[in-house]
Structure 1
Amino acid sequence: MHVPVLLLSRTRRRIQRGQAIVLGSLSFLVLALMVTLSFNLSHALRQKMSLQQHSDTLSFSMAVLEARALNYYAVSNRAIATSYVAMNSLHAYMSAASLTGQIMRASSKNFTIIAVQEMVLCIACEFMCDHCEHAVEAFQISSDFSDSGDDYDDKVSAFESNFNTAMEGLDLMVDNIHKAQSSVHEQTLKAVKDGKSHGLGQLKDYTAPNASELNSSVGSINANEFNCAVDGMECQGSEANTSPEARARVMTEIANATRSGWPATRKSPGGMSMNMPKYLNSQFFQELEDIPGEGTKIISGTKGTAKTVNSKGQLTSGGRSGGNDGAMIAAQDEGRIFHQWKDGLMTNSFKSEVWSDDGGGGHENDGAHSGQHRFEGVNVRALTGCAGSGNCFMKFRANPDPDRDWGQPRVYSYVSMPFRVGDTKRAPWELNSSAQVKLTHGQQGDGTLTVAATEGMAMSKSLVYYHRFGEDGWKEAPNLFAPYWRAKLHPFTKGDAQSVLDAAGNSEAAQMSQVEGVAL
């Protein structure tokens, strides 16, 4: 028995075979496009990774340059403060040396009074007793003390030229140190603005040779951020500059606090009471004994100091309202000397002062003074006007706003790079020079598929931050007197991202950066 078989007509079979060929061809086309797109996507991801790596490297490297510059400011500011300490020490020694003539003159005054006392006793005994001889002898001792005082003044005056030269050198050193600070700032500013100076341009050779240079508008943001870290520089979007006087008070206070025991209080290691100023030569004290030959001498209440002040009256005061602008360097020594000789006794004070200011300085007493010892003062000009004088320094511009990272500078990079090779011999997955596939689909019309990305961009952010070593290092506020500035890559905030993207001219990306949930 034959089983009936349903046979399709020849026309029907021909239609099915045609559909299978079309579907097979379409499948191969989709597969080919997917493979092509996969190659292009892999290439784009690799290019994107190289570009992002370059952007991160550039941002971090610029931040490292800024951190090193700020650390240099800190170390050189310490050198400037040390220069003022050296000036204080110079004045302390000069004042102590000048004290010798003053002590001799105080002794001369004592013996003048003792001579008068002996003369009164001489008159009381009707010129028939030893008091008359004692009076004459006391007048002679007074004259000897006065002559000795003049001799010591001459000795001090003889080496004041060396003192003046040292003051000029130290004052010049402060200006030269700041000149070096300004040069470092200028060169660092240039590097973070163009992203290629001082070796930064070599980064592309290692990470992304085809990448663009740092976007100039983003570089301008970097320059402003770095300027805003230094009080007195031109800055937008942060705290206003303080006055030169306010900055001067900071350096003056630090310099005075840095003084050692000798210029501050005449304290010396293992020293005794200042009632006997042991910093003076023992021969001087022997001369104080030898001139009268007998009697009792007591030196008491001796004290001295040297510091940077606004006026001589501040030397022994505890400060003043508004602070100390540091208009002069001054030193002072004082005390009392008591003499008992024969039947007379007397006490007198002595005092020496030395100061340097923009008027040429001076001496108390005048006999030990020669020439001029000038001192400009601390930070007497605006920072941008301290080209070769003015004794300026770099001070950190603090900002109380946490959104500004407390004034610590941020560093940004924005670079772009073509992802399309444009050469089918080197990149056959791009299919043709335009990396496009044109399709015609019946009544649907023509279509174009771009299989390779044209260009990509990358942006990065770094933070230059202050952190002192140790467990409690975060408690110390940022400043430019301690070299603990570092650099790190830092996450973007929405405000940062929008500012950088707008500056780079990428307005669409700037808008997207503000959308909730978009990772930055």
Structure 2
Amino acid sequence: MHLPVRTVRPVPAWRRRARGQSLVLACLSFLLLALMTTLSFNLSHALREKMSLQQHSDALAYSMGVVEARALNYYTVSNRAIASAYVGMTSAHGYMAAASASGDMMRAGQMSFFVVAALEVIQCPPYNFEHCFDALEALMIAMEYSQKASDYDQKVQGMDEAFDKVVAALDDLANDLHSAQQTAHSSARNALRDGQSSSLADLTDYSVPGATELNSGVGGMNAEEFDCAVDGMNCSRASSSTKARAQVMTEISNASRPSWAANRSLPVIMDGLPTYYNSDFITELLKDIPQEGTHMIVGHNGSAKVAQTKSNIHGPGQVTGNEGKVVVADQHGTFISQWRHAFGVGTYEAVVESSENGGSHTPSGAHNGQHDRFKGVNTKDLMSCSGSGNCFMKFRASDDPSRDWGQPRVYSYVTKQFFVGDADKAPWELNDTGSFSLTHGAQGQGQLRLAPGEGAALSKALVYYHRLGPNGWKEAPGLFNPYWRVKLHPFSADEAADVLNKAGNSDASELAGAKDLTL
């Protein structure tokens, strides 16, 4: 039996060439899929790192703002303490003036009875011998007033040394408080400059390990913003006035005086003498020494203040240009007597002044030496007056709304290398370079980088003043009420460009300064 012969036809050449194309396409598809997956992981990693870095930058700017706000709030309470030192000085001078006036009141009684004696002498013979005896008795009363005046002067002299120590201690208190302010300012300034002090370094270790420290150029901007907020510190864009600072503290100190120190004319009791004098002294002055007749004090008044000169004690509470060069107090009034057949009048005044030039004390009999421990209010620049002048921190306001009325800004600029460079930790980066090379015939070799490089984050905080409650925004910023706060704040394009330029990122600076760019 013969089997049929099967004819095998040859495969055409064009079909032999197409064999294996599907495998090639599949390999290319898998390669693209692998690259897309790798790019996806790299992008996700970069986005996560960028978000973490930005959050860290925000936290750093806010935390530095908190350091600055706390420093400003410390200045407010310590400024109040400095003002209270001056208020204490005025009260001490007021008490000393009141004590010193006791001897002069007795001398006023003496003068009043000299007048009475003279009037009685005029009425002597040939009119009435009784007037002659009255004149002699009036002279004896005048001498008794004189003796009592010396006694009270001696008593006040015994308090003079203690008074000087009180003034010196209060003056030292103002200096010590400012020294503490200087220390606080230096500490806060260092934290704003390096972003590491005051435990700020813990932010990096906790939030984004591997991130750089605060850029030094940006830290310098923070330090200058802080200095510019405090009048008396060096500031390239604003001037400073020692006189203006002195006037502010002087007015606040005078406005804070207790009513007794500011005005000792009321209340009054018997015959117009204030209640703060001992009742035995009052009885002695108006009853026991003259024994009869009617005697009274009129026009009794007194005040104590920080003033430009001793004579300003009689001026209004606020004197234009008052730089607080002296602390002065006075007590004055008139003693009036109606005794037997005549009237007598005598005036009294006590003035106590402390200053750097020696001071003064009237009447001199109630005084041992000079009152020279008061150095004046804010006599020098802030960083050079500790221990030798009564300084304080004053807010340096600005009338420019674009500068936030002088309220300080805080900036943060940090970077981090997002590329891990370890295939075991980040296998999506392919290798330790995060790239691979491609060769394409005559077109040569190219390199494709899949892993991200360095990332940067920029942030801004504003340290601002806001008093809570109705109309709290209407209160102007200052350093006498502790209402300084901090918030993250948006950039203007020019501001961001300036910060980036200070950070040395000129490319980003140029991009930030592009027209109509929204940040």
Asked if Structure 1 and Structure 2 have the same fold, meaning a TM-score greater than 0.5 normalized by the shorter chain, the answer is yes
1:348 aligns with 2:350: no
Corresponding residue of 1:82:
84
- 1:3 aligns with none
User: Which residue in the other structure is 2:214 paired with?
Assistant: 214
Secondary structure in 1 matching 2:292: coil
| Alpha-carbon distance in 2 for matches of 1:136, 1:14 | 156
Could you say what secondary structure the match of 1:457 adopts? strand
Q: Secondary structure at the match of 1:197?
A: coil
Give the Cα–Cα distance (whole angstroms) in 1 for the partners of residues 270 and 233 of structure 2. Answer: 49
Q: How does 1:40-59 map to 2 (within 5 A)?
A: 40-59=42-61
Q: Rate the CA distance shift 1:84–1:133 in 2: closer, same or farther, 3 A.
A: same
Q: In the TM superposition, what is the alpha-carbon distance from 1:403 to its structure 2 partner?
A: 1.4
Q: TM-score, normalised by structure 1?
A: 0.95
Identify unmatched segments of 5+ residues in structure 2. 1-8
Aligned twin of 2:289 = 291
The 3 A distance-change label for structure 1 pair 328 and 318 is same
User: Alpha-carbon deviations, 1:442-482, whole Å to 9, x = none?
Assistant: 34432211000121111111111110111311111111111
Cα distance between partner residues in 2 of 1:50 and 1:12 = 58
Of stretches 16-25 and 407-416 in structure 1, the one that deviates more from structure 2 is 16-25
User: Does the Cα contact within 8 Å between 2:115 and 2:345 map onto a contact in 1?
Assistant: no
261, 279, 291: which one aligns with 1:282: 279
C-alpha distance in structure 1 between counterparts of 2:271 and 2:16, whole Å? 124
Structure 1 position 271, deviation (Å): 6.0
- Which of 354, 372, 377 in structure 1 is aligned with 2:370? 372
In 1, the alpha carbon distance for the partners of 2:468 and 2:307 equals 33
Say if 1:265 and 1:304, in contact at 8 Å, map to a contact too: yes
Q: Secondary structure at the match of 2:19?
A: helix
Return 83-92 or 9-18, whichever deviates more: 9-18
CA contact (8 A) 2:100 2:366 kept: yes
What is aligned with 2:144? 144
Alignment-derived partner of residue 324 in structure 2:
326
In structure 1, stretches of 5+ residues that fail to align are: 1-6
CA distance in 1 between partners of 2:196 and 2:259 (Å): 49
User: What's the secondary structure of 2:410's corresponding residue?
Assistant: strand
Tell me the percent identity: 51
Change in CA separation of 1:8 and 1:348 when aligned onto 2, cut-off 3 Å: farther
Deviates more, 1:414-423 or 1:381-390: 381-390
- Do the aligned partners of 2:268 and 2:274 also contact (CA within 8 Å) in 1? no
Deviation at 1:198?
1.7
Equivalent residue, structure 1, for 2:189: 189
Partner of 1:351, secondary structure, is strand
Task: Give the secondary-structure state (helix, strand or coil) at the position aligned to 1:346.
Answer: strand
Q: Which moved more, 1:480-489 or 1:445-454?
A: 445-454
Give the AA of the match of 2:72. Answer: L
* Residues 1:267 and 1:462: Cα distance change in structure 2 (over 3 Å): farther
| C-alpha spacing 1:267/1:184, structure 2 compared with 1 (3 Å) | farther
Amino acid at match of 2:31: L
| 3-state SS of paired residue (1:198) | coil
Deviations 1:340-395 (A, max 9, x none): 11111112221111110112222111000112222111111122321322101101
Partner Cα separation in structure 2 for residue 151 and residue 495 of structure 1: 76
Q: Could you tell me how far apart the structure 2 residues matched to 1:235 and 1:8 are?
A: 94
2:164 counterpart of 1:164: yes
Distance 2:40 2:367 in 1: 89
Aligned partner of 1:437 in structure 2 is 436
Aligned to 1:39: 41
Question: What TM-score, normalized to structure 2?
Answer: 0.95
The amino acid that maps onto 1:20 is: S
Residue 111 of structure 1 aligns to which amino acid in structure 2? F
Decide whether the 8 Å contact of 1:411 with 1:461 is kept in 2. Answer: yes
Alignment length, in residue pairs?
509
- Counterpart position of 2:333: 335
Matched, 1:106 2:103: no
CA–CA distance in structure 1, aligned partners of residues 270 and 231 of structure 2: 44
Once the two structures are superposed, what CA deviation does each residue of 1:156-181 show, in whole Å capped at 9, x if it has no partner?
11111110000000000000000000
For 1:479, the equivalent position in structure 2 comes to: 478
SS of the aligned residue for 1:122 comes to coil
Matched, 1:134 2:134: yes
Check conservation: 2:218, 2:499, Cα contact below 8 A: yes
Partner of 1:508: 507
Going from structure 1 to structure 2, the CA distance change for 1:187 and 1:267 (only over 3 Å counts) comes to farther
Partner Cα separation in structure 2 for residue 44 and residue 229 of structure 1 = 38
CA distance in 2, matches of 1:45, 1:500: 23
Distance 2:292 2:488 in 1: 79
User: Hey, what does 2:5 align to over in structure 1?
Assistant: none
Q: Is the 8 A contact 1:274 1:303 kept in 2?
A: no
Farther-moved stretch of structure 1 (358-367 vs 9-18) = 9-18
